[in-house]
Every structure is written in C-alpha cells, then in structure tokens.
Amino acid sequence: MLFCTEMITFALFFKKNIISKDMVAKIQQLLQEIDGLQAASAEEVEALRIKYLSKKGVVNALMADFRAVPVEQKKEVGMKLNELKTAAQAKINTLKEALAGAGDTTADLDLTRTAYPIGLGTRHPLTIVKNEIVDIFSRLGFILAEGPEVEDDWHVYSSMNFAEDHPARDMQDTFFVEAHPDIILRSHTSSVQSRVMESTQPPIRVICPGRVYRNEAISARAHCFFHQVEGLYIDKDVSFTDLKQVLLLFAQEMFGADTRIRLRPSYFPFTEPSAEMDISCNICGGKGCSFCKHTGWVEILGCGMVDPAVLEANGIDSTVYTGYAFGMGIERITNLKYQVKDLRMFSENDTRFLEEFEAAN
C-alpha cells in the first residue's frame, strides 16, 4: 500500500515536471516567433495583438497552464512567462509605431528633448565692454546718442574746430568717399557731439558709442576701423571739477574701487583746456610692470572743456553755457580689462577667441 502511494506521488511529480519543461520550451519558441513578427497594416498589427495578447490569446492560455506548474518551478516558469508577455507587448508597440511613422516626417522628432547642447552665441568682447561703459554713464544721467559712420567734413572736422590744414584731414588719416571729397568715413565719434548740439539745446548729457575709421596699416597695434565712446555734457556752470569727478567715478566702476586717475595737459582742437587721463595700471596696481612700461600708469582717454568756438559753431550760446567732453577707445579699455594682445583678434571672428568671453556675457 505504501509502495503504491509512493508510486502515485512519483508519477504525479514526473507528470508535473514534464508540464513545466514543455511550457518553457513552448515559451522559448514563442519568443522567437514574436521576435520575427511583421505587419504591413494597422489591421495586421491588431490581428497579432488579438492572437498573442487578448483574453483568448496565446499568452493568456499559457497563464491558465501555469496553474498546473509545481510550486518549486513556479518562479522559473513565471519569469519566462512574464518575459514573453513583455516581449509580445513591446513588439506590438514597435510595429504600431513603425506604421504610424511611415510617411510622417515628424515621427522621429522628439519634441520633449531639451534644446541643449545647441550652443548659444556669445557677445563680442567689444560689445560687452561698450555696454558696460554705457551702463556706467547711464547711471550718471547720460543718455545714448548715435550718428552716422559715413559723415561729412563739417560734422567730423570743421564744426569741431579743426583748422583747414589740420593733418587729421589728410588722405593718410581719413577715408574719403570717392567722387565726394566732402563725404568721409568718420575718424572719431566726436562728430556725434556736433550732431547732438545742432539739434538740441542744453542741458545736454549724452554718451555716444560707435565705429570709426582711419587709414592705417593693419597690425597688432593699429587697425583701419575701431570703436570709440564719446561723452558730452553741456549746461550752465559745468566745470572741469565736474569732469574730473565723473571720470574718477567711471574709472573706479570700470577697473575697481582702488583705481586712481591722473590728468595730463594735452591738446585737442575741440576742447580748451584739454587733458589726457591715465589710470593706475590695473595689471600691477600701479607698482610698475611691462604693461605700463614701468610707469604705474596707463592712458585711457582724452577730455577737456568744450571749446567755446565749438559751442558757437553748433548753435549753442557760449556766453551762457559751458560743457565738458571726453572720448575713449573701446579696444583700449577691453585690452586693459582682458589683456587682448593683438587688435586683429577683434575682427577675425574666430569663435575660439569669442568663446573665451562666455563667462563675461
């Protein structure tokens, strides 16, 4: 009797074992079959879905058989069964997507993708510095003014008190527009002073950035075009002290609170008295280095009180008003801030150079 019971148990075990072995083999075969499935239309995909994944489909039928699998093999067979279900679902989805994408060119566009790493451009270093200069003077009440780059002799030279035979008017310095001896490319932004004065009565307080042209051989230290910023303030009782104080504030905002300035007497046709302004070398802090030629000072701008002859030439009563003006090269200020050694770098459009200013943007 005992023997008999054992026999039955053994037979049952044997039978169950066969069931699970068969199932695994069947699943394996189905996995291969699913892998190779193809469909030419949405209807065919739907037919496949019904065959494998519907209530009466292949996967569900196997689920029913799964109940007969002995407990100790349920884990192994169950995992296989899950693999089959996932594979069937994935295949049906892939077939669906492939059909939906055919003929639709936007199908492989991922609209949720982030815009990065599409590189944004960087501002040009001269623009960065120009903006900074304009910003500092804006805070002091200067408003932006601009004038044309192609100018006439009057605004560039005559109204600015340049003598008829001044060397700056020479062909060597000035670009003339062919066939129009009176039309030139402006050689300084002081022409904008004249443009503003002829159209506005004081008080005038303007800051004028722009490009200027000079007939120079191109080298590391000179270029045939560069950039300047002009400042002009005209009102009653404007004095040289006002000028000095505003320039000190500018220098300290631009180069740091420890910056010192000094004014050296100079000459410009449009200002009287005139001066050139140095700042304490911002590389060595004024101790002396090769950059400042061991003087501790570097020149950054020209300035002075507007010559009464300039006020009169531009329609402003010099018995009532006084004013100051200043002008500086943006390349020069940029070199001081960023130590760009070669002026040509500014106009070569080498993105490796421009990208170095990413952090300053």
Q: What angle do CA 24, 28, 34 make, to 5 degrees?
A: 140
Please tell me whether residue 321 binds ligand DAH under the rule CB under 6 A.
no
Pairing of strands 204-213, 143-144: parallel
What does residue 86 show for φ and ψ, rounded to 5 degrees? -60, -40
Please tell me whether residue 304 binds ligand DAH under the rule CB under 6 A.
yes
User: Measured from the CB atom, is 45 or 184 closer to ligand DAH?
Assistant: 184
Which of the ranges 29-37, 108-116, 202-210, 323-331 carries the binding residues for ligand DAH, by CB under 6 A? Answer: 323-331
Taking the complex as a whole, the smallest distance from the CB of residue 330 to ligand DAH amounts, in Å, to 12
Please tell me whether residue 230 binds ligand DAH under the rule CB under 6 A.
yes
User: Applying CB under 6 A, which of residues 303, 313, 336, 343 lies at the interface with ligand DAH?
Assistant: 303
Taking the complex as a whole, the smallest distance from the CB of residue 272 to ligand DAH amounts, in Å, to 10
- Cα–Cα dist 19/13, whole Å: 10
- By the 10 Å C-beta count (0-12 exposed, 13-18 middle, 19+ buried), 69 is classed as buried
- By the 10 Å C-beta count (0-12 exposed, 13-18 middle, 19+ buried), 287 is classed as exposed
Please tell me whether residue 271 binds ligand DAH under the rule CB under 6 A.
yes
User: Measured from the CB atom, is 88 or 277 closer to ligand DAH?
Assistant: 277
Please tell me whether residue 325 binds ligand DAH under the rule CB under 6 A.
yes
For the segment 165-204, give every residue that binds ligand DAH (CB under 6 A): 188, 190
Taking the complex as a whole, the smallest distance from the CB of residue 230 to ligand DAH amounts, in Å, to 5
Residue 360 region by backbone torsions, left for phi larger than 0, else alpha for psi between -120 and 50, else beta: alpha
Which of the ranges 45-53, 59-67, 255-263, 320-328 carries the binding residues for ligand DAH, by CB under 6 A? Answer: 320-328
Taking the complex as a whole, the smallest distance from the CB of residue 287 to ligand DAH amounts, in Å, to 28
Tokens in use for 21?
């072995």
User: Applying CB under 6 A, which of residues 27, 147, 327, 330 lies at the interface with ligand DAH?
Assistant: 327
Please tell me whether residue 302 binds ligand DAH under the rule CB under 6 A.
yes
Taking the complex as a whole, the smallest distance from the CB of residue 201 to ligand DAH amounts, in Å, to 20
User: Measured from the CB atom, is 30 or 279 closer to ligand DAH?
Assistant: 279
- Cα–Cα dist 40/42, whole Å: 7
DSSP 201: P
Which of the ranges 52-60, 149-157, 324-332, 337-345 carries the binding residues for ligand DAH, by CB under 6 A? Answer: 324-332
- By the 10 Å C-beta count (0-12 exposed, 13-18 middle, 19+ buried), 219 is classed as exposed
Please tell me whether residue 326 binds ligand DAH under the rule CB under 6 A.
yes
- Cα–Cα dist 252/250, whole Å: 5
- Cα–Cα dist 256/239, whole Å: 25
For the segment 59-88, give every residue that binds ligand DAH (CB under 6 A): none
DSSP 346: G
DSSP 120: P
- Cα–Cα dist 15/26, whole Å: 16
Q: How many residues bind ligand DAH (CB under 6 A)?
A: 11
User: Measured from the CB atom, is 89 or 200 closer to ligand DAH?
Assistant: 200
Which of the ranges 31-39, 58-66, 121-129, 302-310 carries the binding residues for ligand DAH, by CB under 6 A? Answer: 302-310
User: Measured from the CB atom, is 169 or 188 closer to ligand DAH?
Assistant: 188
225-to-11, 45, 215, 330, 346 alpha-carbon distances in Å: 101, 69, 8, 12, 11
User: Measured from the CB atom, is 77 or 243 closer to ligand DAH?
Assistant: 243
- The binding site for ligand DAH (CB under 6 A) comprises 188, 190, 230, 268, 271, 302-304, 325-327
